[in-house]
């Protein structure tokens, strides 16, 4: 017999945090771009275009403008590798793949 399904978060613990939450300005300014993507991808003109034509603009608009994700650049990889080496992580591949550390390197 399956166990009772429980919510991932308790609603009573989440409500106060959600009441205080405000959408970041970057997300609000990127919403019109997202709406344009929705229109384009739903249209016949968008369906005729190849993914490779749309990829760079889509990645910039969604990941950089909306989500504020900035890819690690080569000079940042070297700096991150040095930081991780000081912390006892000496594997270069680990340093390169540690993209969560990117905000601290800006």
Q: 60 and 89: one domain?
A: no
Q: 64 and 78: one domain?
A: no
Q: Does residue 40 surpass a pLDDT of 90?
A: yes
Q: 36 and 65: one domain?
A: yes
Look at the pTM and tell me if it is higher than 0.85.
no
Measure the CA–CA gap between 35 and 52, rounded to whole angstroms. 20
Q: Is residue 91 part of a domain?
A: yes
Q: What is the mean pLDDT of the chain?
A: 75
Which among 1, 3, 6, 57 is positioned nearest to 33, based on CA atoms?
57
Q: Does residue 39 surpass a pLDDT of 90?
A: yes
Q: What is the span of the domain harbouring residue 96?
A: 72-106
Tokens (6 digits) for 7 = 């919510």
Q: 78 and 101: one domain?
A: yes
């Amino acid at each position: 017999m399956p166990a009772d399904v429980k919510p991932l978060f308790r609603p009573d613990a989440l409500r106060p945090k959600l009441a205080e939450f405000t959408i970041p300005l970057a997300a609000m300014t990127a919403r019109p771009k997202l709406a344009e993507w929705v229109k384009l991808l739903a249209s016949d003109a968008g369906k005729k275009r190849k993914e490779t034509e749309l990829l760079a603009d889509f990645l910039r608009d969604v990941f950089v403008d909306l989500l504020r994700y900035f890819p690690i650049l080569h000079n940042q990889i070297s700096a991150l590798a040095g930081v991780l080496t000081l912390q006892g992580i000496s594997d270069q591949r680990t340093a390169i793949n540690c993209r969560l550390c990117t905000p601290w390197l800006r």
